[in-house]
Amino acid sequence: MKQFEVPTFYRSPLLSKIKAQRKVADPRKKDFTPSELQIGDFTFLIARHFGFCYGVENAIERSYKALSENPGKRIFLLSQMIHNPAVNEDLTSNGIQFLQDTNGAQRIAFSELTPADVVLIPAFGTTLEIEQQLKDLGLDIQTYNTTCPFVEKVWNRSEKLGETAHTIVIHGKHDHEETRATFSHAVANGPALIVKDMQEAHFLGAYILGQKTTQELQDFFKGKMSDGFDPAKHLTKIGVVNQTTMLATETQAITDYLRSCYITLHGEDAIKNHMADTRDTLCYATNDNQSATLGLLEQEADFAVVVGGYNSSNTSHLVELLERKFPTYYIKDASEINGTSVQHFDYHHKEMQHTTDFIPSKEQVRVVLTSGASCPDSIVENVMYQLLQTRYTEAELNALLAELH
């Protein structure tokens, strides 16, 4: 796989060494058991896969290339490059400005742009409508288009589904940048509908099975279906694609459930006439990170720490998995830890919480540790050190770390 030029301050020498060792020992990525790292009284159970994925490293490399290749020019990002505050803050500190927020609200009017400006498309991609607006202004949007190739893979699959008269069902959050982009590309090729979770899939299935009316379906999915969507016509033949950061297991569960609805109606032999096989749209990095998190769930630990941006969809799903077994703390960086107290994000209610004495007073502490696909390893390393500093002085910690080399 390609090696990207990412600034060294995003790297962690310690975690890079662990990743390199695992890569040599498990080149086919079949072993999802975590790495164990003993430092003093702490045992860190580090996920087999975590941190920057291919799409994120590609986006960061192109962003810094845009900065180095365009001195003196105004450089804009359409919206957040990725959902990590440290990365976005670093880019803005280097002079990059955001045109929109993550909800698509305009921060700088497109009318203020000139053909001499540089505009970067983020890793999530963007809608066809916005692409056209920028092209009409004479802007080059391809040179620094950082759209993840796995997002584009979903778009390409949506196009093929449209060509075969399938309605495109998107498993995603309708207000997420990636889903807005995927929906735009999908409706250019055929009717489309966005389903957030299994609850919404069950509502859709109830319509397919004749248990809900057309009006009930249209009311329930208002704002989440293409213009002119006709359920009676457009739900006879479907294909499911996904927002690449959603739980892969949930995408598959939704697909399997909808498939069972069509089998109930038409029989197993006719299923290919009503539902496409779209397993090839799942992102390998999302699958690897989630499989590695399932590997963590097979371990015993006192608590789990998940590091990443609070608006990061893929990170929230890692939290969702881990909290099934462990007290789980979702933090953006080491600054959220103050002694044995921690400020952490409750993604269910979208609010911060404060927990005291979150580190047990026992002699040996086992900590599950992972991070989202947009989180730099250096931030994860700093979280480890912050936890260690609850028991060790700087001198003692340096001595313990020296023993690792």
| pLDDT exceeds 90 at position 211 | yes
Average model confidence (pLDDT) across the chain: 94
pLDDT digits (tens, 9 = 90+) for 82-108: 778 888 899 999 999 999 988 889 999
Residues 156, 274, single domain; the answer is yes
Q: Which one of the listed residues 178, 200, 250, 381 is annotated catalytic?
A: 178
Quote the pLDDT of residue 1.
Answer: 60
Query: CB count, 10 Å around CB of 218?
Result: 14
CB 302 within 8 A of CB 318: no
Quote the pLDDT of residue 248.
Answer: 83
pLDDT digits (tens, 9 = 90+) for 296-322: 999 999 999 999 999 898 899 999 999
**Tokens found for residue 332:** 């953006």
Task: Give the angle 263-268-271 at the CA atoms, nearest 5°.
Answer: 70
pLDDT digits (tens, 9 = 90+) for 174-204: 999 999 999 999 999 999 999 999 999 999 9
| CATH number of domain containing 75 | 3.40.50.11270
Helix H or strand E encompassing 18: helix 13-25
* Stronger pLDDT, 193 or 2, i.e. the higher one: 193
CB 401 within 8 A of CB 40: no
Residues 324, 354, single domain; the answer is yes
Task: Please say which residue of 136, 170, 198 terminates a domain.
Answer: 136
CA 32 to CA 293: how far, in whole Å? 8
Q: What is the DSSP letter of 3?
A: P
Task: Work out the average pLDDT over 213-237.
Answer: 96
Task: Work out the average pLDDT over 140-156.
Answer: 93
Query: CB count, 10 Å around CB of 226?
Result: 18
Quote the pLDDT of residue 177.
Answer: 92
pLDDT digits (tens, 9 = 90+) for 20-55: 999 999 999 899 999 999 999 999 999 999 999 888
Quote the pLDDT of residue 247.
Answer: 84
Task: Please say which residue of 78, 110, 136 terminates a domain.
Answer: 136
Quote the pLDDT of residue 405.
Answer: 66
Catalytic residue check, 178: yes
Quote the pLDDT of residue 305.
Answer: 98
Residues 164, 108, single domain; the answer is no
CA 79 to CA 85: how far, in whole Å? 12
Quote the pLDDT of residue 143.
Answer: 94
Task: Please say which residue of 136, 171, 206 terminates a domain.
Answer: 136
| CATH number of domain containing 298 | 3.40.1010.20
Quote the pLDDT of residue 280.
Answer: 63
Expressed as residue numbers, the domain containing 268 is 149-282
Quote the pLDDT of residue 103.
Answer: 84
Quote the pLDDT of residue 83.
Answer: 77
Query: Which residues lie below 8 Å from residue 85, measured CB to CB, with a gap of 6+?
Result: 309, 332
Work out how many domains the chain is built from and give that number: 3
pLDDT digits (tens, 9 = 90+) for 343-360: 999 999 999 999 999 999
Residues 89, 195, single domain; the answer is no
Residue 1 lies in a domain: no
